[in-house]
Structure formats: C-alpha cells, structure tokens
Structure 1
Amino acid sequence: MRVCAIIFFFIITTLGHSQYTKEELLGRFDPETHSDFVRIKTEYANHPNHYLRKEVAEAFYKMAQAAQRDGITLTIVSSTRNYARQKTIWENKYHKFAGTPFDRVHRILQYSSMPGTSRHHWGTDFDLNSVDPEYFNTPAGQRVYKWLRENAWKYGFFQPYTSFDDTRSSGYFEEKWHWSYKPLADLFLWAYRLMVSYDDIYGFSGAEIAKSLNVIDNYVLSILPEER
C-alpha cells in the first residue's frame, strides 16, 4: 500500500498537481482570493458568496443546465468552506450539545466534519438544495435525488456519503445532498492520505478526540471503496 501511495504521489506531481498544498487540504486559505477558485453564478446558488474550483464550477453548470432541461432545479446551498468557516460551524454545535467532549464530538460527526478534515475545504464538493434529510423524503426531493443518481456521473460527480452497508460501515450518515467532483476530489483524497497527520488537526474544541476516533480513516476515507 505504501508503494502504491508513493507511485500515485509521483504521478500527480508529474501531472502538475503538486500545487495542492497541505494548507489547501486543511482549508487554511481564503477561496475568495485563491486564483484557482471562482464565484458561483447567482442563478445556481442560494446566496452570492459560493466558491468552487474553476473546473468544478464549469462541470456543475453543465449538470445544472441538463437538469433544468428535465425540469429539475439544482441549487448550491453550501460550497467551499475553509477552516475558519468549518470551525464556526463545529464549535456552534459543540457548545450547544451536552455531555462529555467525546459524546459531543461523536454526535457532531454524524453530519459535520472536524475543521481540517472536510471535503468542503478542497473546492471539489458542494451541497445541493437542502441539508435537511427530510427534504429528500418529499416528492420534490425524491425527484432531485433520482435525477442525480441517474445523471450526475455523466458530469464527473458522485455521492461520497451513501447509506451504511457492507461496503461502508463507518463515517458520516448518508448525505443525499453532498456531491463531489471525482476527477479532482480523488487527487485531494490521495494527497490527504500522504500529507496530513493528526498533528495537523488542532485549534478547535474537541480536537483532542480526533486521534482516538481515528477520524482520518473512519471519516475522511470512509466513502465507497471504489471511490477511494
């Protein structure tokens, strides 16, 4: 496995992806000022300050336009979240919940990532239409999800957090709203394996629990095996 990782690192470096720094993996940058990011057009988002990597944004526009032709509206409700934004989300929940630090962290990790561990840091992932699981039980939500399941792959997107089964037994609960641009996200995931350790996960309430919960393996890497 280590040999494979070294070979993959050589490949992505050779292909010109060595600019993906540890800071980008951990979300310690500002997408508004990063040259690889673009602001999402307002007609495809719920507010004007959503950012994605340029390649991801272009692929999403094509997907959203195709969905629109089929009578489906795709709206980005969450996009790139840097470390600071993820920390705000995390600590709001941490201080709202009761119990031991372990209890609080374990509960938050049902749906939210620790700062420094979120795929939303990479600019490759976004949430669509609603982050309320109940929305996808409504007729409108079911139509959206059915369309995505049947068509998102044509534009390079996949759902990283599916329901638990024999192939995915740990990690975040199913997120039907969360979609990822595979051509770039795969590179970031491999880089994360190689470059990030628990020494890099710090600076927020409950950070000391990260290693005992093995969040890198059990959350960051816990997607369908064929997508790793």
Structure 2
Amino acid sequence: MRIFLILLLFLQSTTYTHDELMGKIDPATHPDFIEISKEHASREGMFLRTEAYEAFCEMYTAASEAGHHLQIISATRSFAHQKRIWDGKWERTKYMGWPDGEKAVDIMLYSSMPGTSRHHWGTDMDLNALENSYFESGKGLALYTWLQQHADEYGYRQVYTSKENGRTGYEEEKWHWSYMPLATPMLEQYLREITYDDLNGFQGAGTSEELEVITKFVRGIE
C-alpha cells in the first residue's frame, strides 16, 4: 500500500515542458496562466500562473489591511522578452571592447540570460520598485518588513537575498518575490533537464558554461 501511495503521488506531480522551463511559451494563451488585474499591476498585459496569482491576491488583501500597497511591476517574461532585455544591454556603448565573459558577468548583476530567468516560469514577480534603496526607508521599508514577516504565509519568498552568507549569482533584489510551491519543483526539474547546450539564440550565449550560469545563477537562491 505504501509503495502504491508513493507511486500515486509521483503520477500526480506536475511535469513541465522544456518550453515552459525555458520561457518559450505565450502566457496569454497558455491555460495555466491568467492576466493580472489592473488593480494589482503597474500596466496591462502581465501574466502569472493562476495559482501564483490567487496566492498573491490573498497577500495583497492582507497587506492592504495592514496599511501597505503592493503593485506588480513585472511578472512573466518569455524567452523573447528576456532576449530583448539581454541583447539591448549587450549592445550598450559602455561595453565596447569588453571581453564577452566580463560583459556577461556585469550584465548578470541584475539581469538573466534568456532561458535562465525565473520570470519565465510564471511564478515570480517584481514589486513596487526596482531599487533596493526604495525598500530601505519610509513606506518601502515598512512594506519590506511586512513581506519578510508574512509573505511566506502565502507561499512567497525573496530568493535573491544578501550574498553575505555565500549565496552565488545575482545581487540582492528586495523587489523580486517567488511563489515557492510552484517555483521549487520547476527549479528541480530545470536542474535535471536543462543543459548549457539549451542556452543559445542570444548574444554571449557561448559564455554560459564557462561562467557556470546554471550552477551559480539559476541555483543561486536563498
């Protein structure tokens, strides 16, 4: 009976497609995604996985009752969207003459290579502001303190925390929150199935393996 129950749980677990893990989907047409209400977003046309959004809505209500305002300013990003961000930064004048590896490392302080971003999964969001300084004083600090105390009650966690304890990868992002009940199994599957050969189609892709992007950046969370 015990073996049967374990097998049943295994069969019920969700398996994500290669394209879902890599962001090569359209969230506007994917059945597991829903558009974020204007009430909760800085602009129209953003999407999350339905389960992640429903949990956010509960967190939004609780935060509002505590006197805080949550606003999603970025959510799901496709591979193509991330490629536009990445290639745009790659072409910046400041990087003229830089070796590809150094250029990629500098960009990856805060931006992901296409195919490696948690934003591909529909589980992650950026909240309120894209500067850590916003969350270090005034209403931003009050909101951040509330999130630290309560976000996990709704399944959310800040995954890019301070690197003082040895976390690798991206710099701290106090605005980036991940819905862990879905993001955790997606990360586990990503690490099992995605290889450096899959990371292609954008400028500097050839640096991904030498920089250990999967090990140090995709895996580099709190």
How does the TM-score come out when normalised to structure 1?
0.90
Displacement after TM superposition at 1:13 (Å): 5.1
Superimposed CA distance per residue, residues 143-177 of structure 1 (whole angstroms, 9 cap, x where no aligned partner): 11101000101001111100012351x10000000
**Equivalent residue number for residue 62 of structure 2:** 66
SS at 1:127 equivalent: strand
The answer (yes or no) to whether the contact 1:171–1:219 under 8 Å persists in 2 is yes
Alignment of 1:86-125 (within 5 A): 86-96=82-92, 97-98=94-95, 99-125=98-124
| Matched residue type, 2:146 | W
Which of 7, 14, 19 is the aligned partner of 1:23? 19
1:40 aligned partner: 36
2:3 paired residue number: none
SS at 2:161 equivalent: coil
Q: CA deviation at 1:103?
A: 1.7
Name the CA shift for 1:13/1:22 in 2 (closer, same or farther; >3 Å): farther
Alpha carbons of structure 1 residues 12 and 32: separation in structure 2 relative to 1, 3 Å:
farther
Report if the CA contact (8 A) 1:12-1:187 is conserved.
no
Q: CA deviation at 1:138?
A: 3.0
Matched residue count: 213
Verify: 1:177 aligned to 2:184, yes or no: no
- The residue identity in structure 2 corresponding to 1:153 is D
| CA distances 1:95-138 after superposition (whole Å, capped 9, x unpaired) | 11412211210101000100000000000000000112221223
Is residue 139 of structure 1 aligned with residue 105 of structure 2?
no
| In 2: Cα distance, 1:211 partner to 1:188 partner | 21
- Check whether the contact 1:26–1:116 (CA below 8 A) recurs between aligned residues: yes
C-alpha distance after superposition, 1:196-223 (max 9, x if no partner): 0001000001111000000001000011
1:79/1:123 contact within 8 Å kept: yes
C-alpha distance in 2 between matches for 1:133 and 1:144: 12
What is the one-letter code of the residue matched to 1:91? D
Give the residue type in structure 1 aligned to 2:11.
Answer: T
Deviates more, 1:176-185 or 1:99-108: 99-108
Equivalent residue letter for 1:103: E
Give 1:7's aligned residue. Answer: none
Structure ID, larger Rg: 2
- The secondary structure found in structure 1 opposite 2:206 is helix
Letter in 1 for 2:140: G
Aligned-partner Cα distance in 2 for 1:11–1:112: 39
Cα 1:91/1:11, change in 2 over 3 Å: farther
Q: Distance in 2 between matches of 1:211 and 1:21?
A: 22
What is the one-letter code of the residue matched to 1:178? H
Per the alignment, residue 11 of structure 2 pairs with 14
SS of the residue 2:170 aligns to:
coil
Q: Quote the Cα distance in structure 2 between the aligned partners of 1:21 and 1:14.
A: 15
Equivalent-residue separation in structure 2 for 1:148 and 1:40 (angstroms): 20
CA–CA separation in structure 1 for the residues paired with 2:104 and 2:139: 33
